[in-house]
Structure 1
Amino acid sequence: MRVLLSTYGSRGDVEPIMGLAVRLRELGAEVRVCAPPDFAELLAGIGVPMVPVGPSASALTTAARPAASLSERAAALIADQFEAVTKAAEGCDAMVVTGMIPAAAGALSVAEKLGIKAVSVTFQQITLPSPHHAPLAYHGKPFPPEVTGNRALWDLDAQSIEELFGAALNTSRVANGLSPVEGVRDYVIGGLPWLATDPVLDPWLEPSYFDVVQTGAWTMPDERPLPAGLTAFLDDGPPPVYVGFGSMPMRAASDVAQVAIEVVRARGRRIVLGRGWADLALIDDKDDCFVVGEVNQFALFSRTAAVVHHGGAGTTLTATRSGAPQVVVPQATDQPYWAGRVAELGIGVAHDGPVPTTESLSAALGTALAAETGERARAVAGTIRTDGATVAAKLLLDL
């Protein structure tokens, strides 16, 4: 069986795909991936063939002032999907599609055109209509304040997505011999979407508007040893606090680094600073700080006193699995949701807002470092499943 895994987004959209790719290969499937060019090295590291699609996801995310509107950028992404995914899907029997809505809509359209069975997957349930949570508003398209009911808000969500991406999708579909679709969001969700999240960290609640297959989160065992310099730093003192914001640009990165380092030092702790797409950097040459780039996050987090991060789905899962208490400083999209889940589970703190101050971060870190938070974080860590990618791989092959 030949399977194409298609995504477009940040690392949090790509790493789960890598976990599924590894499990599919173990079950005898031939796998290839269509993803942004940023992740070619990561995929090469596990020996999975990759077809790059679209512009750099990092460049698209960190651009200070995008020259094109969201609709124009979506049109370009969709066109890129038709070109790259059509090439990547040649000879495939099934597709797994995830990532940004316009990109996913384009990839699913290619599957439809080629007659390939496709499964639509999300790594955060807040993109799925539900009576238990409200949708996220798109930038520049806030929901009317007088609308508060979930059903009405989800109707407005469908309308916003249609206005942003409908014309762009249907232009490409018609150009490729497909009929227009009415309702981009529902087209992407499909009849039976898969939710690749952990049922403890992210429980899908019933009753709902439709059925969902929750497979568990897709993780990939990371056997990489930590760099020698980092290991020496960890061995040389008590567990440090990790601070990093992953794929978030953090335009005030230097100020954030300054605040974080000063707050951690005031608590008598050492710090490991994750460089990330924000390019966080040390503020001096004192030996209580260490900056890291790409590392085995699970191995690192397991040796920390606490993890301060942006609340991406993948980072939140990894921190939760590690048993480290968390301070989540959400920046955008689904991150406030994950911050809320961390707080609700009692395994950390949801910071109020995207910009930490000395006072706010100090208070949050104090709670995270409390003994009861650490005990709860370690208890919850033992309940997190690690078989989600295997479950999904078997389901896909059974299709």
Structure 2
Amino acid sequence: MRVLLSTYGSRGDVQPMAGLAVQLRALGAEVRVCAPPDKEFAKLLAGVGVELVPAAEPVRTLVTGTTPLPEGLPQRAAALVAAQYEAVAAAAEGCDAVVATGLVPAVAGAQSVAEKLGIHFVYVSYFPTMLPSPHHAPHPLPGRPFPPDMTDNRALWDLNALSYNALFGPGLNAHRVSIGRPPVDDVRNHVFTDRPWLAADPVLGPWREPSDLDVVQTGAWILPDERPLPAELMEFLDAGAPPVYVGFGSMPMRDSKGVAQVAIEAVRAQGRRAVVAQGWADLGLTDDRDDCFVIGEVNQQALFGRVAAVVHHGGAGTTTTAARAGAPQVVVPQIVDQPYWAGRVAALGIGAAHDGPTPTFESLSAALKAALTPETRARATAVAGTIRTDGATVAAKLLLDAVSRERPPVPA
């Protein structure tokens, strides 16, 4: 059996796909991943022996470049639909299934390939609030804010569907007509399907019923990381009390120097050392004191077990990794799903949700003080034991079983 996994997004989109790919391969499937051609994604996939099919332009170029104006989004979306379709179509010949996530136009392009080839398609979200539900509101799309007096979730989701049609419909339908497929009149529901998968931990990101969708929650797709920590980092960790980790992953954090300054000062105010992850914001040290250590991309699964707390942006992967490690968290949310994860961390009592995307010394100090209490540490340790690690295995078995049921019987 052959499976193509398709995504276009940051590392938080690609790494779970790598985790699923490893489990599919363990069950005997052949797997390819169609993803942005960023060097770090190629290295990640090569490290687990999975083929990368490059699609479109490197995503880091988009994230760290000039922020595009909302009025240009339909044109960019149309280009991404076409680019992902072209890449997936070339790689999906002979495949039995396509699993897709990431930016919606890229998912739509991959879905059109599966539709045209007549093969199994699955849309997956990494967080509950991406999917329509009466229990939560949608995320507003760029340039499409919600009316401030509208609070009914169903009404907001109806407006959200109109926004999807306005932003993505023209480009998607023009492309569908060009490949001989009929246009769609409800882009969001077409792309998400009526049975999407939710690759999030049931404790951290539960799906609430009843709902309008038949959501399959598999658990988070975790890629095991066996890499040792760098020797110099180990020396720093061993030289004193557990430090506080500060890193914002794929978030550009426009005032990166100011953010680093605030974070380091806030950590020092709690009497702690700091490990600062550069990330896409290119955070760095602010002086030459020996109580801070800067790192590049390392094994977070190993590192988070050695720190006093994790200050981060609230990506699904970082939140899950810190929760598994039993590390108290301070979430400084920036975009989309990150406020949701900040709220879940606070609700579970495993850390603090920072109010807003721009930390100040006062605000980050208050959040750190709450996260570093013995009570928060004890709660984080307790919740760590409830986090599932078999999500990718569950998903791999579900996918292969579904495809096997759809295959025509072999003649006797």
**TM-score category (smaller protein):** over 0.9
- The answer (yes or no) to whether the contact 2:4–2:98 under 8 Å persists in 1 is yes
Structure 2 residue 73 is the aligned partner of structure 1 residue 70? yes
Q: 1:295-333, CA deviations, whole angstroms, 9 ceiling, x for partnerless residues?
A: 000110110000000000110000111100000000011
Q: Any residues of structure 2 matched to 1:209-358 within 5 Å, and which?
A: 209-358=212-361
Q: 1:10-57, CA deviations, whole angstroms, 9 ceiling, x for partnerless residues?
A: 111111101000000100000000000111111111110111001111
Which SS does the other structure have where 2:321 is aligned? helix
Which SS does the other structure have where 1:139 is aligned? coil
Partner of 1:33: 33
Structure 1: tracts of 5 or more residues without a match: none
Q: 1:163-220, CA deviations, whole angstroms, 9 ceiling, x for partnerless residues?
A: 0000000111111111111111001110211101100001111111121100011001
Which SS does the other structure have where 1:234 is aligned? helix
Q: 1:234-275, CA deviations, whole angstroms, 9 ceiling, x for partnerless residues?
A: 011110000000000000110000001111111111000010
Which SS does the other structure have where 2:306 is aligned? coil
Residue 62 of structure 1 deviates from its aligned partner by 1.4
The one-letter code matched in structure 2 to 1:7 is: T
The one-letter code matched in structure 2 to 1:205 is: R
Partners of 1:190 and 1:383 in 2: CA distance: 30
Partners of 1:195 and 1:331 in 2: CA distance: 22
Which segment is superposed worse, 389-398 or 37-46? 37-46
The one-letter code matched in structure 1 to 2:33 is: V
Identity across the alignment (%):
70
Residue 64 of structure 1 deviates from its aligned partner by 2.0
Equivalent position to 1:58, from 37, 57, 60: 60
Structure 2 residue 45 is the aligned partner of structure 1 residue 43? yes
Partner of 1:10: 10
The one-letter code matched in structure 1 to 2:366 is: A
Partners of 1:116 and 1:282 in 2: CA distance: 50
Residue 66 of structure 1 deviates from its aligned partner by 2.9
Equivalent position to 2:103, from 88, 100, 105: 100
Partners of 1:139 and 1:65 in 2: CA distance: 11
The one-letter code matched in structure 2 to 1:48 is: V
Q: 1:321-360, CA deviations, whole angstroms, 9 ceiling, x for partnerless residues?
A: 1100000000011100000000000000000000000000
Partners of 1:72 and 1:313 in 2: CA distance: 28
Residue 146 of structure 1 deviates from its aligned partner by 2.5
Q: Any residues of structure 2 matched to 1:153-232 within 5 Å, and which?
A: 153-232=156-235
Partners of 1:70 and 1:290 in 2: CA distance: 39
TM-score (norm 2): 0.96
Which SS does the other structure have where 1:37 is aligned? coil
- The answer (yes or no) to whether the contact 2:85–2:106 under 8 Å persists in 1 is no
Residue 83 of structure 1 deviates from its aligned partner by 0.9
Superposition CA RMSD, Å: 0.9
Partners of 1:209 and 1:93 in 2: CA distance: 28
Structure 2: tracts of 5 or more residues without a match: 403-412
Partners of 2:294 and 2:311 in 1: CA distance: 14
The one-letter code matched in structure 1 to 2:242 is: P
Partners of 1:348 and 1:132 in 2: CA distance: 23
Partners of 1:9 and 1:123 in 2: CA distance: 12
Residue 110 of structure 1 deviates from its aligned partner by 1.0
Partners of 2:186 and 2:61 in 1: CA distance: 29
Partners of 1:17 and 1:363 in 2: CA distance: 36
Structure 2 residue 396 is the aligned partner of structure 1 residue 393? yes
Which SS does the other structure have where 1:69 is aligned? helix
Which SS does the other structure have where 1:301 is aligned? helix
